[in-house]
Amino acid sequence: MGIFLNHFNTLSTLVTPQLPKDYENETWKVLQQAVQAIQESRPVNSSLEELYKTCENLCHQKHGDSLYKKLSAEVERHVQKVVGDLLNNNSDQDIFLEAVESAWTDHCRQLIMIRSIFLYLDRTFVLQTLGVSSIWEMGLDLWRRLVMNQNEIRSKVLGGLLRLIDKDRQGDAISHQLVLSLLRMLTDIHMYTSVFETPFLQASRLYYHVEGENNVHHFTVPEYLRYVQQRLLEETTRFEGYLDKSTRRGLISAVEGELLERWTDMLLQKGFESVMADHNLADLKLWHDLLARVNVLEKLSLHFGNYVKKTGKALVVDPARDDTMVEDLLKFKKGVDEVVSKCFQNSELFLNVLKECFESFINTRQNKPAELVAKYLDLRLRSGNKELSDEEMESTLERVLILFRYIQGKDVFEAFYKRDLAKRLLLNKSASFDAEKSMLSKLKAECGSGFTTKLEGMFKDMDTSKDIMINFRASKMHNKIGSLDLTVNVLTQGNWPTYPPAEANIPDQISRCQEVFKEFYLSKHKGRRLMWQNSLGHSVVKAYFTSQGTKELQLSLFQAIILLLFNDVGDSALSYKDIGQLSNIETKELSRTLQSLACGKYRVLVKHPKSKDVSETDEFTFNKDFTASLTRIKINAIQLKETQEENASTNERIFQDRQFQVDAAIVRIMKTRKQLSHTLLISELFDQLKFAIKPSDLKKRIESLIDRDYLERDKNDQSLYKYVA
């Protein structure tokens, strides 16, 4: 018998295991015990992995919301306990701050460990639920609401911090780490600005307000500036050490405002001039750098300009300083240039102030600075000035040219420079022709070719004269002058200064040479006229002295004429009047020449009676016992010296030239405008004329032109001028 099973079907079901009713509470107790152990710094019984898994299971069972609330309540409970402990802490400020810092550090450490247990909650429920803070943010918020919103705690923390920073400013030792930790706490809970920054900046401003007022009267100005620099450095270091970046601007602004900006005017008035006078570059640079921080460099430039004007004017206006004026100005210019370069960063502001000041004070004394600059160049370019190398000479010329740029009366400079250049060229007294040409090219670049045309003509005449003398010596006529060595410079009258004729009885030997050369020259250049300039002649004369034999004397022509008179009288004396009659030299020039021969460094004549000055009653004898270590002796330096007559003559020519320039400018303007008011005419003249002139002098020239029928006044308006065609 068999049983056959055709089909069998059975139904199976999956049964979900039921969690215990108190699963959530029991599980939370495990987690709560771990949280409390962390908060109380006790060992946690369960492993972190088990606790993490427990939290994950609760989240899977949809208990995330409940778990977050319980955790938040647990953390809040602990923070409330911390608050109570802090409120009951009656220790001094420093210990209280340490307690707050310790509690905060513990709180942060606890939050990190708690978050590691509840990480799954933080990454699922918190991220997925709108309006729920992360566990970390929840902990910070609790600290902010429960701890730092307590007025007593907040005020103690703020007061303690401000007190520690004050102690730090006073140089006392503090715990910078404590300050840093507490400030980071305020930053983390977003209370730095509201709780600390504003009161801190107010307290800082008050602190430096008082300290600035105390020190500005106690310190010298340089000491105070260094004190401000030190304070700024300290505050910058403090900012870098523990203050938030947002506080920097306000803090530095408070220090700058109370220590520097508030006292800028007083400091400048009290000490700037003395610091400049001492040429204290370090303090001047510090002054510039500090005032640049508060944007008041205009005030510094104003005081700098006042100092330059005052000091420069004192150098220019005092006639007693004329001998050293240019050297003093160059030294002064070098000093202030160094200040602008090394201390004021070559700022355009200070460069412009310097330029304006020099232009102002150097022209306060009309004409004289221009004259003295020309004379200074003459001194440097003369032979005998061997102490300067080529590089130093070039540097000196450049520096003098800077002064020249500031001078308004360039025509005065030109007149005196031309006169001195003429003497250097004609008397062979130039130290270096390269230096002469270099200066000429600088003047040409500065003022244009019109300014230097006549100066260039003088050099051309000297070159032409050399060629003439080569041809003369090669000619048969040269044999007629005998053994005398003759050199003649033929000058174009328009290029050279005007020299008044100087009469003298030329010795026959020299006179014959002059006639021979004149005949030669006119044979080559018919229709020209030669005028001998006796005052510029110089010669070399051999003289025999009993004790030393023959010496060569370099003399002016007038000196040579006088000495040659003693060939005819031997040891006999010649009176002043005798010498005057025999030489026919003008009285002032005669006295000047005799003084150079009898009262100077080299006394080849003996004056009776002996004195420093020459009078008409004096007598002179040849000094046959004259001694000197040199074989060739220069006595003709007298020709280089300026006489009062020469100076007056040069100034008179400048005055006349200026009158011509003014007249020409007035006519030129009126010819263009046809009619013009007095005010407008004066204004245009000031624009066109290149030298300083008074309105009263311009009015005189206008009156002169009216008298000469170049201009006329309007019949209805006396202040209106009309051009007369």
Report whether pLDDT(13) > 50: no
Report the candidate in 30, 77, 20, 36 with the shortest Cα–Cα distance to residue 55. Answer: 30
Q: How far apart are CA 415 and CA 375, in angstroms?
A: 11
Report whether pLDDT(8) > 70: no
**Residue that has been written with the tokens 């001195």 in this structure:** 420
Interior/surface letters 651-689, b for 16+ CB within 10 angstroms, e for the rest: eeebeeebeebbbebbeebbeeeeebebeebbebbeeee
Average pLDDT, the chain: 86
Predicted confidence band of residue 247 (pLDDT cuts 50, 70, 90): confident
Q: How far apart are CA 559 and CA 541, in angstroms?
A: 10
| Terminal-residue alpha carbon distance, the chain | 166
Residues forming beta bridges with residue 723, ordered by sequence position: 711
What's the average model confidence in pLDDT over 96-125? 92
DSSP letter, residue 638: G
Give yes or no for a contact between 406 and 365, defined as CB atoms under 8 angstroms apart: no
Q: How far apart are CA 121 and CA 71, in angstroms?
A: 10
Span 23-149 CATH architecture: Up-down Bundle (1.20)
What's the average model confidence in pLDDT over 485-492? 90
Report whether pLDDT(264) > 90: yes
What token pair was written down for 523?
Answer: 């044979």
DSSP letter, residue 268: I
**Residue that has been written with the tokens 């001194």 in this structure:** 379
Q: What is the DSSP string of 421-441?
A: HHHHHHTT-BS-HHHHHHHHH
Angle at the Cα of 70 from the Cα atoms of 67 and 72, rounded to 5 degrees: 105
Report whether pLDDT(413) > 90: no
Q: What percent of the chain has pLDDT over 90?
A: 38
Give the per-residue pLDDT at 19. 63
Give the per-residue pLDDT at 328. 93
CATH of domain 537-642: 3.30.230.130
Give the per-residue pLDDT at 188. 92
SS3 for 563-627, per residue?
A: HHHCCCCCCCCEEHHHHHHHHCCCHHHHHHHHHHHHCCCCCCEEEECCCCCCCCCCEEEECCCCC
Q: With the CA atoms of 558, 560, 565 and 568 taken in that order, what torsion angle do they form, in degrees rounded to the nearest 10?
A: -160
Q: How far apart are CA 404 and CA 452, in angstroms?
A: 14
DSSP letter, residue 271: I
Give the per-residue pLDDT at 105. 94
Give the per-residue pLDDT at 2. 40
Q: How far apart are CA 448 and CA 454, in angstroms?
A: 12
What token pair was written down for 41?
Answer: 């710094």
Give the per-residue pLDDT at 652. 67
Report whether pLDDT(688) > 80: no
Strands 605-608 and 574-575: unpaired
Q: How far apart are CA 445 and CA 438, in angstroms?
A: 11
Give yes or no for a contact between 465 and 427, defined as CB atoms under 8 angstroms apart: no
Helices (H), ranges, 449-492: 449-474
Predicted confidence band of residue 383 (pLDDT cuts 50, 70, 90): low
N residues, the chain: 725
pLDDT in tens, 426-437: 888 888 888 889
Q: How far apart are CA 465 and CA 506, in angstroms?
A: 22
Report whether pLDDT(276) > 60: yes
What's the average model confidence in pLDDT over 479-505? 86
Collapsed DSSP state (helix, strand, coil) of residue 555? strand
Q: In what order do the strands lie in the sheet with 632-634?
A: 538-545, 549-556, 632-634
What token pair was written down for 480?
Answer: 């007629």
pLDDT in tens, 598-646: 888 888 898 888 888 888 888 999 988 888 888 888 887 766 666 666 6
Q: What share of the chain is helix, strand, coil (3-state, %, to 5)?
A: 65, 5, 25
- Span of 1-10, 56-65, 409-418, 565-574 with lowest mean pLDDT: 1-10
Q: In what order do the strands lie in the sheet with 675-677?
A: 675-677, 720-723, 711-713
pLDDT in tens, 647-671: 666 666 766 677 777 788 888 888 8
Give the per-residue pLDDT at 241. 75
Q: Say if domain 645-723 classifies as CATH 1.10.3720.10.
A: no
Give yes or no for a contact between 369 and 404, defined as CB atoms under 8 angstroms apart: no
What token pair was written down for 714?
Answer: 């309007």
Rounded to 5 degrees, φ, ψ at 559 are: -65, -40
What token pair was written down for 85?
Answer: 């402990």
